[in-house]
Amino acid sequence: MSEKMKLILSDTNLNIKPQNDTTFIDLSSLKITNCVGCFGCWTKTPGKCVIRDDAVKVYPLIAKSDRVMYISRTKYGGYDTVMKTMLERAIPIQKAFIRLVNGETHHVQRDVLPKSATIIAYGEISDEEKEIFKDLILRNAYNMNFTDYNIIFTSEEMLEETVRGEVLKWEK
Amino acid sequence: MGKVMILNGSPRAPKSNSKIYSDIFRKYCKLDTEYFNISKTNHIELCKKIGEFSDVLVVFPLYADSLPVTLLNFLKNLELNPPEKKPVISLLVNCGFIEYQQNDIAVKMMEQFCKKNEYKMGSVLKIGSGEAILTTFFNVLVKMKIRRLAYSVANKKYKTFTLTMPLSKRSFIKASTKYWDNYGKNNGVTHEEMDTMNIES
């Protein structure tokens, strides 16, 4: 694995200027179709998605990052479409094979750095939806190799300011 | 007499395990059933039809710990195009892990959808080891459980059911490795090739 990096994946364009070791990706500007569940990335071309769109540029960066920030609108207590589509397309960084993590069965990771995650969920989110989202990120932590994570709920109006504040914390 | 609409929310709907689960449900349900794949292009057509049914059974796999995008996008469209008469929504959700509880987030998200849009939630069947169970002799357990699910929907005695392979986790991991090795073998790919650490290289 080459040098570590920091990655910000956002479902919307934001006016932020992260430092050089941080890559910002506005997923809404990319062409990413949904996973078709073919298992090709596990059983035909292991580690590579058979759909050759912009997602194939993103999931290697997820694997290489030791800090990630995922910024997403939520829907029914989960990620909304743009972020969820990318996360589903990131399964080539896992293997088909199963292992035990904290006593639960999960997929084995390929060359994926353990990572510290900041998840910024925005929009109008009810208390019930917040609880579901927290449970979801706990599950993601097992499946996406998070060593630790922080969830921040914010409004659409406060999003840019919230992200700037979190990026500043990374830079300290 | 009610009528059940079965919606397959798997991205690989025609070739999916969700299709097989749906077929088993249709076999055992004493009500009339109609089956539909959710595709990218038929959301409006399905939204128009949904009001004709007393019950809907949504059958889908767990994707990245929650609802697959195929289903999520349909639900968002259904929210914008609601039927006048709302059916009861039941679920059959499966994940590849042995713990059927890993489906809980997806079920809670569906409950949120129902709550927001004033649909009544019906029965739920959560299946663990759902990728491989149909290819083992445990598929008899699948049939028994789906039969009970179908009975509960047809008789409006809505309940939550669960199912997984009755194996220890260690045995499950061994069995799943064999399952995936065979899957690769059918594509001419070895265990070692599938086990690569490389990503896009």
> What mean pLDDT comes out for the span B173-195?
96
Mean pLDDT of A93-112: 96
pLDDT digits (tens, 9 = 90+) for B36-75: 999 999 999 999 999 999 999 999 999 999 999 999 999 9
**B101: closest chain A residue by CA:** A104
Return the percentage of chain A with pLDDT > 90, whole number. 92
Q: Which of A172, A137, A170 is nearest to A22 (CA)?
A: A170
**In sequence order, what are the residues at sequence separation of 6 or more whose Cβ sits closer than 8 angstroms to the Cβ of residue A9?**
A25, A27, A58, A62, A68, A69, A70, A71, A83, A86
* Assigned CATH for B3-166: 3.40.50.360
State mean pLDDT over A2-19.
89
Residue B92 pLDDT greater than 70, yes or no = yes
The mean of the pLDDT values for chain B is: 96
**Whole-number pLDDT of residue B15:** 87
Q: Which residue has the tokens 């076999």?
A: B27
Does residue B17 belong to the interface with chain A, where contact is any CB pair within 8 Å? no
Residue B194 has pLDDT above 70, yes or no: yes
Which of B 68-97 lie inside 8 A of A, CB atoms? 68-70, 72-73, 75-76, 96-97
pLDDT attached to residue A20: 81
pLDDT confidence of residue A171: 80
Every domain of chain A and the residues it spans: 5-171
Of B13, B17, B35, whose CA–CA distance to B26 is shortest?
A: B35
Residue B189 touches partner A, C-beta closer than 8 Å: yes
What percent of chain B is predicted at pLDDT more than 70? 100
Q: Is the pLDDT of residue A1 over 70?
A: no
- Neighbouring CB atoms inside 10 A of B40's CB total 11
Task: Check CB contact of B41 with chain A, cutoff 8 Å.
Answer: no
How far, CA to CA in Å, does B53 sit from each of A29, A30, A31, B39, B73? 39, 39, 37, 20, 21
How far is the C-alpha of A146 from the C-alpha of B74, rounded, in Å?
30
- H/E stretch holding A82: helix A81-89
- Please give the Cα distance from A82 to B113 (Å, whole number): 18
pLDDT surpassing 90 at residue A149? yes
Average pLDDT over residues A47-66: 97
Question: Is B120 or A18 the better-scoring residue by pLDDT?
Answer: B120
Domain map of chain B by residue range?
A: 3-166, 167-201
Contacts of residue A7, defined as CB under 8 A and 6 or more positions apart, other chains included, come to: A22, A23, A25, A61, A62, A64, A65, A67, A68, A69
**How many angstroms separate the Cα of A103 from the Cα of each of A40, A108, B132, B168, B170?**
28, 14, 20, 11, 10
Residue A103: which pLDDT band, with cuts at 50, 70 and 90?
very high
Alpha helices in chain B (DSSP H): 17-28, 43-49, 69-80, 104-117, 139-154, 169-186, 191-194
Average pLDDT over residues A66-77: 98
Pull the structure tokens for residue A8: 């910000």
Residue B14: pLDDT band (50, 70, 90) is confident
DSSP code at position A26: E
A143/B65 touch (CB, cutoff 8 Å), yes or no? yes
SS3 A115: strand
Q: Which amino acid does the sequence have at A166?
A: E
Q: Do B189 and A44 touch (CB under 8 A)?
A: yes
- CA B155 – CA B31 distance, rounded (Å): 9
Q: What is the mean pLDDT of residues A93-99?
A: 97
- Band (B81; pLDDT cuts 50, 70, 90): very high
Closest among A53, A62, A72 to A4, alpha carbons compared: A62
The string of pLDDT tens digits covering residues B130-182 is 888 998 999 999 999 999 999 999 999 999 999 999 999 999 999 999 999 99
Round to whole Å and give the CA distance between B186 and B170. 25
**Closest Cβ opposite residue B187 in set A43, A79, A128:** A43
Which residue bears the tokens 């990630």? A68
What fold characterizes domain A5-171? Rossmann fold (3.40.50)
pLDDT band, residue A158 (cuts 50/70/90): very high
Mean pLDDT throughout A85-96? 98
